[in-house]
Amino acid sequence: MAASDQIVEVVNSRIDKAIRDNAGSERLISVVLITLFVAGIVLILWGAYHEQWTFLVPGGMAEMALVFPVRQLVKMRADNMSLQVIPPMLRLAGTDDAKTLAMELIQRLIRQL
Amino acid sequence: MADTKHVLEEVLRTLEAAGWQKPPTEASAEPRKSSTFVSTLPFVGVTIGILSFGAFAVLQSGLDPDAKTAIAKVRDDAKTAITKAQKDAEIAIAKAGGELKQAQIDLAFSRLAASQAEEETRRIAALLEESNQKVLKYVETSSGRESLEAAVVLARIGRASLKAGNYGKARDALDQSIRILDKLLSTKTKAVEPQQAQVLLDLATALLKSNELPNALIQATHSLALFRKLMDRHGEAEALALLGQINEARGEIHEAQTHLEQAREIHQGTGDWNKEVRTLHTQSELFRKAGQEARANELRERAAVIVQKHGAGAPQKPPQKH
């Protein structure tokens, strides 16, 4: 195996590990998201059924708080896409020009995060 | 969660170490800004939160907008009627010198206006009672059936019923309030005692109106003791005046006069001339009933002097009737 291929393998394994880590966090955030949503809905419906209108406040706040896990999930999906682009690109970078372009793309991705 | 930026920087460094060429950094490369939609989300969240709390506050107040408007209208009507009654009374007093008959007619009109005002006050009290019932329902859910808040709302209901002339209802609400306050006394003495003194006074008033004189006397005495303990001079004077009325109803004229005199002295001391005048009128009425016309007239004159001193236009309540 050429030295360049070895480097690409090291980079790919690092990226694969990062994507795996993200998948675990993604599941956790999804659970929080679903819990918040269900809790909010239950509070609102329970409050409405029993005419306890004060329950609308925590219910509404729980629904509002959904914004944060949703934003986090969207960001993680975007990050994963950035990471997944790199391995095939590095494998295809045979010439010096292609390598420079690959490096440029990685720099661009860093700036975008 | 992996820090993507950190991972990419690590990748970049690894590739650089392996001899991969880094392109020259673009001068124009600007970091990407987050979209307007995402950056405005917290603002939208906060706005929705504030609106929810606003709605919550309205619900908590226990008054629907219709009831608020109705109360405001009735209050305005009552105010107009009271102002009219006062003006009529002033005219009547001014005329009293030479045209006594006309003055009596004017006074009759002013009494009519006052009774209209009284009727409207009752309507307000009924509306307040209804609103307070809603607040009670809320308080019982949020703070518990036997909380200080519930006791305060029950006392308000009792006071509103008292003003509306529903003495039975007033007694029930005030009794409930007292029971709760008694239970809370050992744990929240400082907060409970002033409430208890006032509720006992209101309960004694309701009992007096229902002609339950022995019980009224007990509650008023208890209230007086509490007000004295709390060094609340106004409350003490109110309790003494009520004891005067209760004793008068019991036929204990001498005791009634003693209590009324003590109440008057406190009102004089605190500078509450309006209540001092009212007490003087009650005392005068008592003397008149006892056949002591000279003493009654003397007290009336003293009341008139006080009114004159503070301005004839100032509000002056008529003597209390039982």
Q: Give per-residue pLDDT as tens, B51-104.
A: 565 555 555 555 555 666 666 776 677 677 667 766 766 666 566 555 555 555
Identify whether B135 is part of a domain.
no
In chain A, the number of structural domains is 1
Contact between chains at B7 and A7 (C-beta distance less than 8 A): no
In chain B, the number of structural domains is 2
Tell me how far apart the alpha carbons of residues A100 and A106 are, in angstroms, rounded to a whole number. 10
- In angstroms, the Cα distances linking A103 to A94, A107, B8 are 13, 6, 10
Q: For residue B29, count other CB atoms closer than 10 A to its CB.
A: 11
Full residue range of the structural domain in which residue B296 is found: 232-322
| A74–chain B nearest CA distance, Å | 11
CA geometry: angle B36, B41, B47, nearest 5 deg: 125
Identify whether B275 is part of a domain.
yes
Tell me how far apart the alpha carbons of residues B143 and A72 are, in angstroms, rounded to a whole number. 37
Using alpha carbons, select from B152, B257, A38, B320 the residue that is nearest to residue A46: A38
Identify whether B260 is part of a domain.
yes
Tell me how far apart the alpha carbons of residues B131 and B69 are, in angstroms, rounded to a whole number. 12
pLDDT score recorded for residue B206 = 92
Average of pLDDT values for B156-176?
A: 85
Chain B contact present for A67, CB below 8 A: yes
Nearest residue of chain A to residue B56 (CA atoms)? A54
Mean pLDDT in chain A?
A: 84
Nearest residue of chain B to residue A27 (CA atoms)? B1
pLDDT score recorded for residue B314 = 46
pLDDT exceeds cutoff 90 at B124: no
Query: Looking at B159-163, B173-177, B224-228, which range is the least confident one?
Result: B159-163
Which has the higher per-residue pLDDT, B234 or B185?
B234
Find out whether B233 and B189 touch, Cβ atoms under 8 Å. Answer: no
Tell me how far apart the alpha carbons of residues B174 and B154 are, in angstroms, rounded to a whole number. 6
Contact between chains at A15 and B38 (C-beta distance less than 8 A): no
Average of pLDDT values for A28-44?
A: 90
- % of chain B residues with pLDDT over 70: 67
Tell me how far apart the alpha carbons of residues B4 and B11 are, in angstroms, rounded to a whole number. 10
pLDDT-based confidence at B29, cuts 50/70/90?
Answer: very low
Using alpha carbons, select from B283, B310, B313, B315 the residue that is nearest to residue B299: B283
| B32–chain A nearest CA distance, Å | 5
**Which CATH number belongs to the domain containing residue B299 in this structure?**
1.25.40.10
Average of pLDDT values for B180-191?
A: 80
Tokens of A15: 């990226």
pLDDT exceeds cutoff 60 at A1: no
pLDDT score recorded for residue B13 = 86
Full residue range of the structural domain in which residue A94 is found: 3-112
Identify whether B176 is part of a domain.
no
Mean pLDDT in chain B?
A: 76
How many residue pairs from chains A and B have C-beta atoms closer than 8 A?
Answer: 106
Query: Looking at A7-11, A104-108, B50-54, B141-145, which range is the least confident one?
Result: B50-54
CB-CB: which of B23, B42, B55 is closest to A103? B23
Q: How far is CA B265 from the centre of its chain?
A: 25
Token pair 């009735």 is at which residue?
B74
Which has the higher per-residue pLDDT, B285 or B137?
B285
Q: Which of B121, B148, B167 lies at the terminal end of a domain, its last residue?
A: B121
Average of pLDDT values for A48-66?
A: 84
Which has the higher per-residue pLDDT, B40 or A39?
A39
Identify whether B268 is part of a domain.
yes
Tell me how far apart the alpha carbons of residues B31 and B116 are, in angstroms, rounded to a whole number. 75
Contact between chains at A83 and B8 (C-beta distance less than 8 A): yes
pLDDT score recorded for residue B224 = 93
pLDDT exceeds cutoff 70 at B109: no
Token pair 């107009």 is at which residue?
B80
Q: For residue B38, count other CB atoms closer than 10 A to its CB.
A: 13
pLDDT exceeds cutoff 50 at B184: yes
Phi, psi of B165, deg, nearest 5: 85, 10
Chain B CB contacts of A86 under 8 Å are: 8, 11
Which has the higher per-residue pLDDT, B319 or B188?
B188
pLDDT score recorded for residue A58 = 85
Q: Which of B121, B152, B186 lies at the terminal end of a domain, its last residue?
A: B121
| A28–chain B nearest CA distance, Å | 10
Q: For residue B107, count other CB atoms closer than 10 A to its CB.
A: 18
pLDDT exceeds cutoff 70 at B39: no
| A31–chain B nearest CA distance, Å | 15
Identify whether B213 is part of a domain.
no
Contact between chains at B21 and A103 (C-beta distance less than 8 A): yes
pLDDT score recorded for residue B316 = 46
Contact between chains at B138 and A54 (C-beta distance less than 8 A): yes
**pTM for the full predicted model:** 0.47
- % of chain B residues with pLDDT over 90: 18
User: Hey, which of A66-80, B39-53, B84-98 has the most confident mean pLDDT?
Assistant: A66-80
Identify whether B117 is part of a domain.
yes
Tell me how far apart the alpha carbons of residues A103 and B4 are, in angstroms, rounded to a whole number. 16
Interface confidence (ipTM) of the complex: 0.77
Tell me how far apart the alpha carbons of residues A14 and B266 are, in angstroms, rounded to a whole number. 87
Token pair 């809790």 is at which residue?
A39
Q: Which amino acid is at B194?
A: P
Contact between chains at A100 and B21 (C-beta distance less than 8 A): yes
Nearest residue of chain A to residue B48 (CA atoms)? A64
pLDDT score recorded for residue B28 = 47
pLDDT score recorded for residue B198 = 92
Q: Which of B102, B121, B140 lies at the terminal end of a domain, its last residue?
A: B121
pLDDT score recorded for residue B317 = 47
pLDDT exceeds cutoff 80 at A2: no
To the nearest 10°, the Cα dihedral for A13, A16, A17, A19?
Answer: 160
- Dump pLDDT digits (tens) for B228-261: 999 999 999 999 999 999 998 988 888 999 999 9
